[in-house]
């Protein structure tokens, strides 16, 4: 087969001249397997199409352990593991690699696939100059195991390439993971990392999506295809116990153009008179709303009822994570680039109930559907949050693409090739600046 990648080079010796690349996934961007502790047998539980909801409930529903800081599965006979096949690339390539999905080419589960193909076409070699890092995205972005595994992955890429520093390309929440590592392991980061290309990171949170995820759940796929995926409510019962979700709530200390809000149309009764009012909750006040709305939340597992209220232990942990993120400083000599999405309506404020059908008890929110107000972004992360990295970026580039589609966008590829020094110059569709944001339309 012929390769039509613009940066393809038939000179195999060129591979040895490339600095290694490490791809780091975001939330939901890694294959998760359930492994039996005694027999060692693996079952893929995320993502899978067939029996998705059933296997998710059996193998992935979890509880947070405040003693360890880890979220642990309710099934005590199993543990969640991330496959490290193909030098870590398998877990972040096609998230359901079953023959059926490959046959129908279900684009929703093709994650880093196109970027991996692009980099291989540019001369990168798996296991020598190209690696992937998938992780258990239920956990905190600063939990010890994730930090240690990332350190090992960086060291592996560094040694395999003959002592060359690593170029990190992160997507979405993967940027927060890298930021935590930068903050907590500054000297290790400096030793192994040459440059960091960050794509669609919710640096200051993703308020619209995350607020609603804690209250009503998350639907990764809409329309007819959603029947083959994990349901919104099933996903909700996991996310309530995931530190990573709490760590993406809106940063209350960030100077938003307009503070994100949760709004609730409520029926109030005072002195025998009833009124309907729109109550608003900012990032700090929302904690009270979460507590009230989730106070009756529970699931049934293996014949027993498990309470899942708003988890204040996770909330406190997430507040400490925000301080870790705030303390991150980019080392001298490490180049940082930021790509973020624009031109798509992105949830910001979220509203429950209506004037005609108000919420009487806040617990009703968990069984309602949200209405959003929107800002500019990539449909998941607002441009305001994604470009507020706090670093001295070499370039910030805005691309008109959706959150996941940024990983297969041709203009994104052109920028990455330029920054890695392996491709053609960026097309005239883009305007870039070393001191201001760039926009691709």
Active site residue 172: yes
In tens digits, the chain (441 residues) has pLDDT values of 334 444 544 445 555 689 999 999 999 999 999 999 888 789 999 998 888 899 999 999 999 999 999 999 999 999 999 999 999 999 999 999 988 888 888 888 999 999 999 999 999 999 999 999 999 999 999 999 999 999 999 999 999 999 999 999 999 999 999 999 999 999 999 999 999 999 999 999 999 999 999 999 987 655 545 445 788 999 999 999 999 999 999 999 999 999 999 999 999 888 888 899 999 999 999 999 999 999 999 999 999 999 999 999 999 999 999 999 999 999 999 999 999 999 999 999 999 999 999 999 999 999 999 999 999 999 999 999 999 999 999 999 999 999 999 999 999 999 999 999 996 444 434 444 343 454 554
Q: Which of 172, 244, 343, 440 is catalytic?
A: 172
Distance from C-alpha of 25 to C-alpha of 29, rounded to nearest angstrom: 5
Q: Which of 171, 236, 403, 415 is catalytic?
A: 403
Say if CB 98 and CB 106 are below 8 A apart. no
* Cβ neighbourhood burial of 141 (10 Å; 0-12, 13-18, 19+): buried
| Tokens representing residue 150 in the block | 């990332």
Q: Which of 19, 114, 136, 378 is catalytic?
A: 378
Task: Give pTM, 2 decimals.
Answer: 0.92
Give the Cα-Cα-Cα angle 237, 109, 71 (nearest 5 degrees).
Answer: 30
């Amino acid at each position: 087969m012929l390769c039509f990648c613009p940066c393809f080079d038939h000179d195999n010796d060129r591979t040895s001249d490339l600095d290694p690349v490490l791809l780091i996934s975001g939330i939901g961007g890694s294959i998760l397997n359930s492994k039996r502790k005694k027999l060692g047998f693996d079952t893929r539980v995320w993502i899978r199409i067939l029996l998705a909801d059933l296997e998710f409930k059996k193998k992935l529903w979890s509880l947070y352990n405040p003693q360890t800081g880890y979220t642990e599965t309710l099934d005590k006979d199993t543990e969640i593991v991330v496959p490290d096949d193909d030098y870590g690339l398998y877990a972040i390539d096609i998230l359901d690699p079953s023959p059926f999905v490959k046959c129908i080419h279900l684009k929703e589960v093709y994650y880093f696939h196109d970027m991996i193909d692009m980099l291989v076409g540019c001369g990168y070699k798996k296991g020598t100059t190209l690696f992937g890092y998938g992780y258990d995205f239920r956990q905190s972005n600063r939990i010890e195991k994730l930090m240690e595994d990332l350190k090992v992955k960086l060291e592996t890429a560094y040694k395999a390439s003959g002592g060359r520093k690593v170029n990190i390309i992160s997507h979405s929440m993967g940027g927060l993971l890298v930021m935590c590592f930068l903050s907590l392991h500054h000297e290790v980061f400096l030793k192994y990392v040459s440059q960091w290309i960050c794509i669609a990171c919710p640096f200051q949170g993703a308020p619209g999506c995350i607020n609603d995820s804690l209250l009503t759940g998350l639907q990764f796929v809409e329309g007819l295809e959603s029947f083959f995926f994990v349901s919104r409510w099933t996903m909700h019962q996991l996310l309530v116990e995931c530190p990573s979700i709490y760590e993406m709530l809106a940063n209350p200390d960030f100077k938003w153009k307009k503070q994100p809000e949760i709004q609730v149309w409520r029926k109030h009764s005072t002195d025998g008179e009833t009124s309907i009012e729109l109550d608003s909750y900012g990032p700090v006040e929302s904690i009270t709303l979460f507590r009230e709305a989730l106070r009756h939340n529970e699931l049934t597992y293996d014949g027993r009822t498990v309470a899942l209220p708003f988890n204040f232990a996770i909330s406190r942990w997430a507040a400490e994570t925000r301080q870790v993120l705030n303390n991150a400083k980019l080392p001298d000599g490490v180049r940082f680039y930021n790509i973020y999405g624009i031109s798509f309506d992105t949830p910001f404020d979220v509203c429950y109930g209506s004037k005609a059908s108000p919420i009487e008890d806040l617990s009703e929110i968990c069984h309602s559907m949200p209405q959003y107000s929107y800002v500019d972004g990539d449909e998941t992360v607002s441009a305001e949050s994604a470009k507020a990295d706090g670093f001295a970026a070499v370039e910030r580039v805005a691309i008109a693409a959706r959150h996941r589609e940024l990983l297969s966008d041709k203009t994104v590829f052109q920028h990455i090739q330029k920054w890695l020094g392996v491709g053609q110059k960026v097309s005239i569709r883009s305007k870039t600046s070393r001191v201001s944001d760039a926009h691709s339309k």
